């Protein structure tokens, strides 16, 4: 039997660190590569530069056994690997909608000149359609083995907070390839998942790239759809949580990603739909995605609405008012604050004269770096101390478990606004609070 392929993972952020640990868990020898020596050293010593449930625990045994290592050397990676997964970021370009793919170019440029034996280089990053074909040329042109350094695309669908489960038990595997050799290499790497029944779809490059961005476009649209219904509910005196529950029983609609509230944020959905629109424009089909502008606009309006409702609860203005913000991460089980709706609202309230104190179970350190002007507390009760209004903006379990009677003892006024439709209105009202939520009477 041929020896198992050796795997490298280039770029060790959320996606790469998770992928590296999970490939080791599947039994492969794995080398993680990052240009940032601090990051590589931290990972090598078992420390994660971000919070992801279960990931440190998964890294530890594989680091100890030596099956998983981290380096900064592209040369070492080229020497080591049979299959190279590229997991670098593709952020939104400053002042534009388009994605910045320069980290991908840099990863290929660093690796390719050292590739002296056949291998497959597999892009996992979310990219504008056409990127894989472009990188394939760049790879072949620079690799000493030429076309034997082959490109493939294998988009990643993992959600932060569920990254390990989404990697080891994905809904599907999609691989964009140009040859049977590349397909066979990926079938071999993913054999344990395929034999567990995970659907394995083989496509061309362009389709595989589009699967990822269209999935994110669909999910964003679903969230903005229910948030548009929330706007109508607010005007008509209806309850969007009951509406979405009733819709969810229709299997054609389904209940997942149908939670109305403060809308989507994070490092993926907002920038991915914008990059998708920009790419459609370049391809001359901008009209096909014009609706995503509306999806984006509905999403951003929820943040303003939240500020409006909070201002009303403060009696028409924030001056001289203390506002407690529960949540800073863009979603629970994460310390990621990129494009966080919660911090966007907190900053707006502060700019309008409110005295804002934020508490988040995991994201406080990151939030403090980006928004040093906000005050931070060590506990939810600390944030709520003396508050005139409490805003629930990220639906951590800890916040659902707060005792409204006890919290009522520390605030100045008992007003709570649920921006995530996750708290039990009956309990809060029974404890004497005025309870408001987005999309509900
Ligand atoms: C997303 C995709 O789900 C994932 O498949 C892709 O690989 C990367 O982007 P992630 O950014 O981790 O993953 O977060 P996700 O769980 O999708 O949530 C995104 C945002 O939508 C969060 O801010 C969340 O609060 C919000 N959301 C989600 C809603 O407002 N309502 C919902 O019903 C669901």
Q: pLDDT at position 1, please?
A: 64
Nearest to 109 by CA among 83, 81, 138: 138
**Which single residue is written with the structure tokens 């320069």?**
102
CA angle 401, 14, 212 (to 5 degrees): 100
404: pLDDT strictly greater than 70: yes
Q: Are 40 and 13 in contact (CB under 8 A)?
A: no
pLDDT at 148 > cutoff 80:
yes
Using a 6 Å cutoff on CB, does residue 261 contact ligand 1?
yes
Pairing outcome for strands 68-71 and 83-86? unpaired
- Looking from the CA of residue 260, the nearest atom of ligand 1 is 31
CB 212 within 8 A of CB 153: no
Among this protein's residues, is 119 annotated catalytic?
Answer: no
- What token pair was written down for 178? 């140009």
Mean pLDDT (whole number) for 101-114: 98
Structure tokens at 128: 């504008």
Question: What pLDDT score does 334 carry?
Answer: 95
pTM: 0.96
| Beta pairing, strands 68-71 & 375-376 | unpaired
Instruction: Determine the length of the chain.
Output: 441
270 CA distance to ligand 1 centroid (A)?
10
Strand partners, 176: 153, 203
Does ligand 1 come within 6 angstroms of the Cβ of 332?
no
* CATH 3.40.50.720 placement within the chain: 7-203, 205-441
What angle, 0 to 180 degrees and rounded to 10, lies between the N-to-C axes of helices 131-142 and 102-111? 20
Give residue 169's pLDDT: 98
Among protein residues, the one whose CA lies closest to atom 21 of ligand 1: 264
Looking from the CA of residue 220, the nearest atom of ligand 1 is 21
Q: What is the mean pLDDT of the chain?
A: 97
Choices 3.50.30.30, 2.60.40.1120, 3.40.50.720, 3.10.350.10: CATH for 7-203? 3.40.50.720
d(CA 172, ligand 1 centre) in Å = 18
C-alpha to C-alpha distance for 99 and 232, rounded to whole angstroms: 33
pLDDT at 3: 86
Residue 270 has phi, psi (to 5 degrees) of -60, -45
Tokens of 434: 């005025």
Catalytic residue among 87, 233, 268, 314: 268
pLDDT at 137 over 90: yes
CA–centroid distance, 116 to ligand 1, in Å, is 40
Query: Of ligand 1's atoms, which has the minimum distance to the CA of residue 269?
Result: 9
Asked if residue 376 has its Cβ within 6 Å of ligand 1, the reply is: no
Tens digits of residue pLDDT in 333-347: 999 999 999 999 999
Q: pLDDT over 90 for what percent of the chain?
A: 99
Establish whether residue 50 lines the binding site of ligand 1, counting it when its CB lies within 6 angstroms of any ligand atom.
no
How many Å apart are CA 274 and CA 266, to the nearest integer? 13
- Ligand 1 pocket: which of 269, 273, 303, 338 to mutate (most atoms within 8 A of CB): 269
Q: What would the CATH number be for the domain defined by 205-441? A: 3.40.50.720
Report the distance separating Cα 88 and Cα 279, nearest Å.
19
With b for 16 or more beta-carbon neighbours within 10 A and e for fewer, the 228-238 pattern comes to bbbbebbeeee
CB of 331 closer than 6 A to ligand 1?
yes
Site to probe by mutation for ligand 1, drawn from 159, 174, 360, 418 as the one with most ligand atoms within 8 Å of Cβ, is: 159
Considering only CA atoms, give the Rg of the chain.
Answer: 24
259 lines ligand 1 (CB under 6 A): yes
Residue 159 Cβ inside 6 Å of ligand 1? The answer reads yes
pLDDT, average across residues 350-358: 98
Mean pLDDT within 344-363: 98
Nearest atom, ligand 1, residue 259 CA: 33
Q: Tell me the mean pLDDT in the region 87-115.
A: 97
**415 three-class SS:** strand
Q: Is 439 in the pocket of ligand 1 (CB under 6 A)?
A: no
Q: Grade residue 25 by pLDDT with cuts at 50, 70 and 90.
A: very high
260 CB within 6 A, ligand 1: no
For the stretch 242-269, pLDDT in tens is: 999 999 999 999 999 999 999 999 999 9
Look at residue 2 in the predicted model and tell me its pLDDT: 77
268 CA from centroid of ligand 1 (Å): 8
CB contact at 8 A, 337 and 299: no
The CA-atom distances, in angstroms, between 93 and each of 97, 113, 315, 368 are 7, 27, 40, 24
If DSSP codes are grouped into helix, strand and coil, which group holds residue 303? helix
Query: Using CA positions, which residue lies closest to atom 1 of ligand 1?
Result: 159
Q: How far apart are CA 387 and CA 108, in angstroms?
A: 52
Beta strands across the sheet bearing 389-392: 375-376, 355-359, 322-326, 389-392, 415-418, 434-437
Contact call for residues 394 and 326 (beta carbons, < 8 A): yes
Give the separation between CA 99 and CA 76, rounded to whole angstroms. Answer: 29
Q: Residue range 278-303: average pLDDT?
A: 98
Mean pLDDT calculated for residue range 193-221: 98
Which residue's CA is the closest to the ligand 1 atom numbered 19?
Answer: 264
């Amino acid at each position: 039997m041929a020896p198992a392929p050796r795997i490298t993972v280039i770029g060790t952020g959320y996606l790469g660190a998770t992928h590296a640990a999970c490939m080791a868990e599947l039994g492969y020898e794995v080398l993680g590569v990052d240009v940032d020596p601090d990051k590589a050293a931290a990972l090598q010593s078992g420390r994660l530069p971000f919070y992801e449930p279960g990931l440190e625990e998964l890294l530890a045994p594989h680091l100890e056994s030596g099956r998983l290592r981290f380096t900064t050397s592209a040369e070492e990676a080229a020497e080591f690997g049979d299959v190279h997964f590229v997991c670098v970021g593709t952020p939104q370009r400053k002042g534009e909608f388009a994605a910045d793919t320069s980290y991908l170019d840099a990863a290929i440029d660093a690796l390719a000149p050292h590739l002296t034996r056949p291998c497959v280089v597999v892009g996992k990053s979310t990219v504008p359609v056409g990127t894989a074909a472009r990188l394939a040329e760049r790879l072949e042109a620079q690799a000493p083995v030429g076309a034997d350094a082959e490109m493939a695309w294998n988009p990643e669908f993992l959600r932060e907070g569920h990254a390990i489960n989404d990697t080891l038990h994905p809904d599907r595997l999609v691989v964009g390839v140009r040859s049977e050799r590349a397909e066979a290499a990926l079938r071999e790497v993913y054999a344990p998942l395929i034999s567990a029944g995970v659907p394995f779809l083989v496509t061309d490059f362009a389709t595989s790239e589009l699967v990822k961005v269209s999935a994110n476009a669909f999910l964003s649209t679903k969230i903005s759809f229910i948030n548009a219904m929330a706007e109508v509910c607010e005007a008509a005196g209806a309850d969007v949580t009951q509406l979405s529950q009733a819709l969810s029983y229709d299997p054609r609609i389904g209940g997942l990603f149908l939670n109305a509230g403060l809308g989507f944020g994070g490092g993926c959905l907002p920038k991915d739909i914008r990059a998708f629109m920009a790419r459609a424009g370049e391809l001359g089909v901008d009209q096909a995605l014009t609706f995503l502008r509306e999806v984006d606009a509905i999403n951003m309006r929820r943040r303003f609405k939240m500020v409006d409702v909070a201002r009303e609860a403060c009696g028409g203005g924030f001056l001289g008012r203390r506002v407690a913000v529960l949540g800073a991460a863009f979603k629970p089980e994460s310390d990621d604050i990129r494009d966080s709706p919660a911090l966007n609202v907190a900053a707006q309230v502060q700019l309008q004269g409110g005295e804002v104190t934020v508490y988040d179970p995991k994201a406080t350190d990151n939030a403090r770096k980006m928004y040093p002007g906000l005050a931070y507390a060590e506990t939810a009760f600390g944030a709520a101390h003396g508050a005139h209004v409490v805003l629930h903006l990220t639906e951590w379990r800890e916040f659902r478990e707060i005792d409204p009677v006890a919290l009522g003892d520390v605030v100045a006024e008992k007003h709570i606004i649920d921006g995530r439709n996750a708290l039990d209105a009956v309990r809060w009202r029974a404890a004497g609070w005025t309870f408001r939520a987005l999309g509900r009477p």
